[in-house]
Structure formats: C-alpha cells, structure tokens
Amino acid sequence: MIAFSQTENHPFIELKGVTKVYGTGQAAMHALRGIDLRIDEGEFVAVMGPSGSGKSTCLNILACLDTPTTGIYKFKGIEVGKLTRSQRTRLRRFYLGFVFQGYNLLNRTSALDNIELPLIYRRISAIERRKRAINALETVGLRGWESHTPGELSGGQQQRVAIARAIVTEPAILFADEPTGNLDTARSREIMDLLSALNQNQGITIVMVTHEPDMAAYAKRTIHFLDGLVESDEQNGRAI
C-alpha cells in the first residue's frame, strides 16, 4: 500500500509541466505541450476544448491509464511517475474511478457482474459485492436490469452501468470521458444530474471531459484546452 499523506499541505491533484508526445521525430504529435493544473478535493471540473486539444489525453494521464512523456503528476503529494506499475494499479484500484467514452463494459456479461468486477479485484466478499453492486445500480436508476448484458441495454443504460461500475468502489475521484457523448439531450441531463448528485452527496471529486457547453454548465469549474495547453480556467457562476 502507498502511504498517502493526509495533511492538507498537498493539493489533491497537481500537474506540473506535463507533456505527451506520440510518435518520434518528424511524425511526432504533441498532444500536451506543458500543462500546469491543480484540482482540489470535492471539485466538479469540466474539461472542454476542440478535438485534438489534448483534453482526453490529459484525463487518461490523470486517471493513471497513460503516462506523461515529461512533467510531474502528483496525486496527494505522491509523484505518480515514480510509482511502479503495480503501485499505479493499486492507485486505480483503490482511489480512482473511470467512465469511458465507449462504456468499455465486458460483453456477454450481465450489468451486475460488470459492476461487481472492480470489487472482485478489491477482494470484497461475494455477499458484500452483490449488495454494493445492487446499491450502485439503484443509484444510477437501473434496478430491474441486473441480468441484462450490454448488448441488451440502450446506450444511455450502458453509460449508466459504466458509471455504476466506476462509483461502486466509492472512489476518491471519478474521471469521465464524454459521459454524454453518445446520448440524446434527455438522457444526457439524467446522467449529468446523477454526476452532480454524486459530487454533492458523496463528495466524490469529478473530472469530466465534454464538448457540450450545456453539460459543462453542471460543473463548478471549467477548464478549456487548446492545442495541448490550458487556454482558460474559471469557476462557473452557477451552482447546481
């Protein structure tokens, strides 16, 4: 286990001069050109920007799914870049939740089993697992759909299963990559209401990538990315 300092001296999440380069030489593509960012506990951050501005790359790095080319990423004061592979895995397992743009649920696997999966890796007992998974399913409003596989669920329902899977571990921070990207307006609002509620009621920090201003408006803070740099970073006036 990694010893995280519990003092408030360290920011929750801190990026310093983070860059990400894909490929090498002439073909090199600079996705991030030096990001400085700080996110505190309990925030609800929307990350916006045009395609290719580096917002998803940044989110993947924050979620420990990807590693920066240069720069420092500190999580609760711990330098993530210096952690071993399995320490990063532990970080994901115990602190981070992730909602993918393409849902990334296991095929031919029931909603409940999908939601239970992270709990299996946390060595939670079968009974406790089931209880928590059903709770999470309840939270996203999908009671009665336990045994349906992703193929039998609509896009919005799959997105909600993906959210349930991310929150079932009660992560310290939830990353969501365009959680409403594939949904109609009504479904999008349902999802956003759900995320807001998680942020307000359970105190889960949320970092969400979106390109819809309507959805970004649900967040308390909006960061704009452009060409691999932070263009603007402002608190939203509107409180939900």
Partner 1 sequence: MWWNTILLALREIKRNVMRSVLTILGIVIGVGAVITMVTIGGGATAQVKEQISSMGSNLLMVTPGKRLGPGQSSNVALFKLNDGEAIARDVSSIAAVAPVSSQSLKAIFGNQNWSTQVTGSDNQYFKVTNRSIKSGRQFSDSELRSGAAVCIVGETVRKKLFGGQESLGLNIRLEKLSCQVIGILEAKGQSTMGMDQDDIVVIPIRTYQRRISGNQDVAMFQVSVQQGASTDKAQRDIQLLMRERRHLSPSDDDNFNVMDMKEIAKMLTGTTQLLTALLSAVAAVSLLVGGIGIMNIMLVSVTERTREIGIRLAIGAFEREVLMQFLVEAVVLSSFGGLIGIVLALSASVWLAGVLRVPFVFNAGIVVIAFLFSAAVGVIFGYFPALKAARLDPIEALRYE
CB of 65 to partner 1, least distance (A): 4
Of 19 and 236, nearer to partner 1 (C-beta) is 19
Among positions 60, 158, 180, 222, the unique one binding partner 1 when judged by CB under 8 A: 60
User: Residue 37 is which amino acid?
Assistant: L
Is the distance from CB of 57 to CB of 49 less than 8 angstroms? no
CB of 44 to partner 1, least distance (A): 22
Alpha-carbon distance 132 to 167, whole Å? 10
CB of 234 to partner 1, least distance (A): 28
Please give the residues from 96 up to 135 whose contact with partner 1 meets the rule CB under 8 A: 96, 98, 100, 104-109, 113, 117-118, 120-123
CB of 103 to partner 1, least distance (A): 10
Site string for partner 1, 9-48 (x = CB under 8 A): ----------------------------------------
Site string for partner 1, 62-101 (x = CB under 8 A): -x-xxx-----------------xx--xx-xxx-x-x-x-
C-alpha 106 chain-centroid distance: 18
Of 101 and 135, nearer to partner 1 (C-beta) is 101
CB of 109 to partner 1, least distance (A): 6
Of 67 and 235, nearer to partner 1 (C-beta) is 67
Of 104 and 196, nearer to partner 1 (C-beta) is 104
- Which residue, 59, 58, 67, 65, is CA-closest to 34? 58
Footprint on this chain of partner 1 (rule: CB under 8 A)? 60, 63, 65-67, 85-86, 89-90, 92-94, 96, 98, 100, 104-109, 113, 117-118, 120-123, 165, 169
